[in-house]
Structure formats: structure tokens, C-alpha cells
Structure 1
Amino acid sequence: MHPLTPGALGKAAATFVLGLLVGAVGTVMHRSTPPWGLLLCVLLVLGAGLLSRAWAGGVALGGFAGGMFLSVTTLARTGPGGDVLVPAQQGIGWVWVLAAAAALVAAALAPRGLFRDEPRTERPARTTDEVQPAPDPAP
């Protein structure tokens, strides 16, 4: 776990802005070319969430999720002219909101080994006495 340093909080603020941007793009574009627009927007959320977590851990992912939440909930409301970007009557709007949340959960639950900076140690070479020949089949 990354400590709460000023650098980590700065990265969390930067990923908050990234979350605002990704949430706005996803909310506007998820209905562009069904179902491919929705799929690309959810993959964008997943990729940006994984990037945020890899950059500065859970604090940055929390900042990204906060920006996403703020952006999506703000843009899902009815606008001043009566326009709605995420209509409640269409299922694709609900799929966008729930799939974006699921992508954030997937980024949070991704294995820690994906974000490790140290290289793996090499496996020891197997010697010939460790390798046992397969038994001959009975005729």
C-alpha cells in the first residue's frame, strides 16, 4: 500500500481530473454506436482505472473513481433544456452506469502482482535426475 504523501495526494488529484474526463467522454459516447460505443467506453474506464492504480495505488484509484462518479452522476441528470444523456427508459444507460462501476471494481480487485515493479526471479533450472521418463505402455 502506498503511503499518503503529498506526492500521492497530488497523483490522486490528477486521477480525479482523469476520472472527470473519462466519465464525461463515456457518458456522452456510450450510445454512439450500440453496442460497440458502450463496450469501448467501458474498456476506457477499465484501462484508466488500471493505469491509475498502477501509477499510485489505491489512493489514485479512489481519486479516479470519485471523478468518474461526479461526472457520470452530474451528466445523467436532466439538463436545463430537458436533454438527458442517460435516459432511464433505455437499458443502455443503466448498462453504462453499472458496467462502469463494475470496471472500477475489477480494477480495484486486480491482483497485486500486475502492478509490481520488481522483476520476477528466474526459476531454477531442472536437472536431468528430476525429469522422470514416462512409463512404457504395456503391449
Structure 2
Amino acid sequence: MQIFSGRGLARLAGSFVVGAVIGLVGTGIHRWMQPWGLIGALVLVLVGGVLGRAWTGSAGVLAVGLGVVTVTGLIGGGGPGGDVIIAAQPIGYLWFAGAIVVAGAAFLPRRWFSEAAALPRDADTDAP
């Protein structure tokens, strides 16, 4: 697939939006029922990375990661009254660093994302 075609750019933009939504939802749930909220948020980041990889390859993984990091960074800072959404505690630091989980999708085998049909099995060589 060509990245700089109209469809490729739309997929990249969609991957960024998916990452932004994941960053928003993950920030909201990372402190819920510790540690399960954080684990769920990190799994969501990994699933987003796999989706980005399936859509546009490595550029999609980068777009999802940028979306997660951008939104997490924007809403993770202090508010006007000094309130914070991501507290300076170990679970908050793990969530900030957790966007790196999306990079795990970049190391998955390329054939998992291939649109080529699998080779048919030979009935003569298959064991009963």
C-alpha cells in the first residue's frame, strides 16, 4: 500500500485518532481497580498498535503511538488549579511509559499482517 496516496493518508490519520482515543480512555482507567485498570489500558495500547500495523504497517504503529503520547501528555499535565489526572506515583509513571507498549506491535511477524492466502496443506503428507 502506498502511504502517500489519499487512502494511505486517511489510514494514518485514522491510526492517530485511534491512538488519541486510546490515550484518553487509558488515562481515565489506568487507576481503576489497581493494577487491573493499568493492565487493561496497556493491553488497549497494544491492540491499537496491532490495528495500526494491520492498516498501514510501521507508519501506523508510529501514528498510534504519537496519538497516545500526545493525548496522555496533554491531559497528564497540571490543570488550572494545580489538579492532575495522572498522579506522580508509580502507577502514573507506568502509564506514562506504557505508550512504549505500542512499539511491541512493530516487532510482530510480517506474515501475521499479510493479505496473501495461506498455502494449502498437502493431504498426502499430513499425519492422521
TM-score, reference length from structure 1: 0.82
Higher helix share: 2
Q: Which amino acid aligns with 1:12?
A: L
The reply on whether 1:93 has 2:92 as its aligned counterpart is yes
Shift of 1:123: 4.1
Contact 1:18/1:64, CA 8 A, preserved across alignment: yes
- 1:106 alignment counterpart: 104
CA distance in 1, matches of 2:27, 2:69: 11
Identity of aligned residues (%): 35
Structure 1 vs Structure 2 CA RMSD: 1.7
CA distance in 2, matches of 1:3, 1:46: 24
Q: What is the CA–CA distance in structure 1 between the aligned matches of 2:64 and 2:98, rounded to whole Å?
A: 16
Q: CA deviation at 1:7?
A: 0.9
CA distance in 1, matches of 2:61, 2:6: 16
Are 1:68 and 2:71 matched, yes or no? no
| Aligned residue pairs, count | 125
SS of the residue corresponding to residue 117 of structure 1 reads coil
Q: Which deviates more from structure 2 when the two are superposed, residues 7-16 or residues 116-125?
A: 116-125
Structure 1 unaligned regions, length at least 5: 128-139
What is the TM-score with the length of structure 2 in the denominator?
0.88
